[in-house]
Amino acid sequence: MVRDIGGLHETRNTCLEEIVVGFLYTLAHHKKNRMMGAHFYRGSETISRQFHACLLAILKLHVVLLKKPTPIQEGCDDERWKYFKNCLGALDGTMILVNVPCEDRSKYRTRKGTLAMNVLGVCSPEMEFTYVLPGWEGSAHDGPILRDSISRPNGLKVPKGCYYLCDGGYTNGEGFLAIYRGHLYHLKEWNRGARQPLTAEEYFNLRHAKARIVIERCFGLLKGRWGILISPFWFSLQTHGRIVVESSDSDGDDGDDSDDDDIEYITSTDVTNAWTNFRNTMAQTMFNDWRARNRRLTL
């Protein structure tokens, strides 16, 4: 695939397999060029050149590897997702530690004091990344990043009638179903004392958390697999972003959109009465169904 689609070819002294293996080894174990050169008996400049060539070749594979999300259907038997008809998955932001010039450190400094890049990740219920937007400063809030992603010509596309689950860092606008703020949400809060939901808002948050955790699991697996994403590395910010995109197997910028010309997509994250009512109706339906099942079990 990297040869036929990505256009990567062997060099006079290095076979294609060695180039790919060296690239994957660097990502998985966070090795510097000097150490990789000693391991493969190559010069540091050769290792660097081959790494960047392989990175660009793999980015071209997204036309094949990009997963297109499919909405949850009526009658879904997955306990986590059955209430969220037409949901496409979940989204959230994660921090990737970076090294930046002194003049840029204030922009990339997070509220925890670290220097990081804020990356928007979107995944399907099957834990497949469907869109990744790297590059934003660590000080940036989630809301503006999401607005930027849907405003890009080849950005995140959410068809009308579909939506993603998102946490309290985002507004509850059309296409982005957020939690009820001011109510219990995180699963560890519910597990503490095995407390039962008392209101429709609390039950909605509980069901929402059990489904939306899929994006947190995706981030955990991503960083666990590729050691280079755990601690700051020495590449430029542009290469940082490319590595994040490549590691997740999708950047959302490729793929054939010729069949999507007639689909109307969401272009705003503004709160609307219609979407607020949609969430309220969903929450009340969930809560009523849960209470009815509980009553049947006690009879």
Model pLDDT for residues 12-23, shown as the tens digit of each residue = 889 999 999 999
* pTM, two decimal places: 0.86
Q: Is pLDDT larger for residue 120 or for residue 253?
A: 120
Residues 6+ positions from 283 with CB-CB distance below 8 Å: 180, 200, 201, 203, 204
Three-class SS state of 231: coil
pLDDT digits (tens, 9 = 90+) for 185-200: 877 777 665 678 889 9
Start-to-end CA distance of the chain, whole Å, equals 60
Task: Report residue 201's pLDDT band, with 50, 70 and 90 as the boundaries.
Answer: very high
Q: Which pair of structure tokens corresponds to residue 219? A: 């981030």
For residue 189, is it left (φ>0), alpha (ψ between -120 and 50) or beta? alpha
